[in-house]
Structure 1
Amino acid sequence: MAASTIDELKATLVRALERGDATLAAALYEPGARLLPPGAPVITGEDAVRDFWQRRIDGGSDGGVLETVHRAEYGDVAIEEGRYGRRSGETLLDSGKYLVVFRRRPDGAWRFATDMWNSDAG
């Protein structure tokens, strides 16, 4: 079961954002990964993913929480539905839901393949 490994991957993403490390955040995504942020075009590839997270960090986002609601694993692919909270210090900037596709690499490591989220704010 991939649960603990995927949970570690998600925790590493949160820590990378807390530290302001967009390069580490981008390294958690597979080459060609796709981000589907709300109100923006699709973001594809390591450089674009790193630039996206750097803009978020520069905008004051310094971490948050990712909470799994449901996860299903299909061989080398796992799909997770969850809830997120994005913060700056103690201030909650946004909360909402997400859907992520994780893919296991040949070396056994899991990476984000597709990462989509949207805000509960209307």
Structure 2
Amino acid sequence: MKKNRINTVINCLLVSVLLITSCKSPSPPVLTDSDKQYIKDLTTNAQDGWNRGEREPYVNRFSTDAIYMPPNMETVVGKDAIRTFANSFPDLKLYYDVIEIMGSADYAYVRGAFTVTNPADSLLDKGKFLSVWKKFPDGKWLLTHDIFSSDIPIPVRQEDTDQNK
């Protein structure tokens, strides 16, 4: 009888250990291919709208409190300020190349390249961008942080370089 109790206790311990070790913590929610496509589509829509002279598709990708960090100027904070910034540009063409999208079910990180031309397709600027997107409770993805920089060096005047000698 004592042997049966010991076997029962050992079996219970073994079953407990098996149950504990076989339980996996749930996998974190992932960024789906559908989420990635949603972000790519918004980016393409912003590009196409901008190239038609419409700034709202570009601006509407941003959250109300977005942080926008263009090169060679102060940070622009908030969707309304980003709209003012976007509307200040003359007629030019904007092209995006989304290179990589990574993240989770709630946040996505997008890395890419851009090209800016004048209406005659002469190159004005080219560079790279890195943006943070957040998925909101309504299922929409919006930009919360956006930074971009030029690959074209800032021109330096000859007299500036002469003064450093």
User: Could you state the TM-score of these two structures normalised by the residue count of structure 1?
Assistant: 0.90
CA-CA distance at 1:101 after TM superposition: 0.5
Question: Which amino acid letter does the alignment assign opposite residue 98 of structure 1?
Answer: F
Question: Which amino acid letter does the alignment assign opposite residue 86 of structure 1?
Answer: V
1:86 has 2:123 as partner: no
CA-CA distance at 1:109 after TM superposition: 1.1
CA-CA distance at 1:48 after TM superposition: 0.5
1:43 has 2:84 as partner: no
Bigger RCO of structures 1 and 2 (CA < 8 A, at least 6 apart): 1
Cα deviation code 1:60-102 (max 9, x no counterpart): 32x3221122221222110011111112222221100100111
Question: Which amino acid letter does the alignment assign opposite residue 96 of structure 2?
Answer: L
Relative to its length, the structure with more helix (as a share) is 2
1:111 has 2:111 as partner: no
The answer to whether the Cα contact below 8 Å between 2:64 and 2:80 also exists between their aligned partners in 1 is: no
**Alignment of structure 1 residues 13-52 onto 2, 5 Å:** 13-52=46-85
1:71 has 2:101 as partner: yes
Unaligned stretches of 5+ residues in structure 2: 1-31, 154-165
Moved more, 92-101 or 11-20: 11-20
Larger Rg: 2
Question: Which amino acid letter does the alignment assign opposite residue 44 of structure 1?
Answer: V
CA-CA distance at 1:43 after TM superposition: 0.3
CA distance in 2, matches of 1:111, 1:66: 17
1:95 has 2:126 as partner: yes
CA distance in 1, matches of 2:44, 2:99: 16
CA distance in 2, matches of 1:32, 1:50: 12
RMSD, aligned CA = 1.3
Aligned length in residues: 119
CA distance in 1, matches of 2:56, 2:42: 14
Relative to its length, the structure with more strand (as a share) is 1
The answer to whether the Cα contact below 8 Å between 2:63 and 2:144 also exists between their aligned partners in 1 is: yes
